[in-house]
Amino acid sequence: MITRRMKISIITGILLGIVCIVGASIRSGFERETYWLFALWYNRLLMGFIIGAPWKNVGLKMALTRGAVIGLLVSFAFYSSIGFADTTSFLAGIIYGVIIEFAAYKFDTKID
């Protein structure tokens, strides 16, 4: 079942993925291949999907920590697959995990 939290997280992941591929394109002088940019965007989508899972409700500080850890783990998959070549995208993934978790926490009004 797709919950409100999951919808918010996926949409946020999609939007941050677009920001990420624009940034990566600019940093590379628009030299990155389309498949590489798609993989980077898909990584952010996947991050949104995982963060949007029905996790136990916790306080904001713990939720943001969870977002950072999930962001780190998901981003590391992309980072390691490209030969540890884009540290900026890896670090941005940790921050994006926090942003996605914050959006899910703030805009999901469902209380268990």
pLDDT, tens digit, 9 for 90 and up, residues 4-30: 999 999 999 999 999 999 999 999 999
- pLDDT tens profile 57-111: 899 999 999 999 999 999 999 999 999 999 999 999 999 999 999 999 998 865 4
Per-residue pLDDT band for 112 (boundaries 50, 70, 90) equals: very low
pTM of the complete model: 0.91
**Is 112 a domain residue?**
no
Q: Is 3 left (phi over 0), alpha (psi -120 to 50) or beta?
A: beta
Give me the domain span that covers residue 101.
4-107
Q: Is 76 left (phi over 0), alpha (psi -120 to 50) or beta?
A: alpha
Domain count, the chain: 1
Name 23's Cβ contacts closer than 8 Å, sequence gap at least 6: 88, 92
Between CA 81 and CA 4 the distance in angstroms is: 32
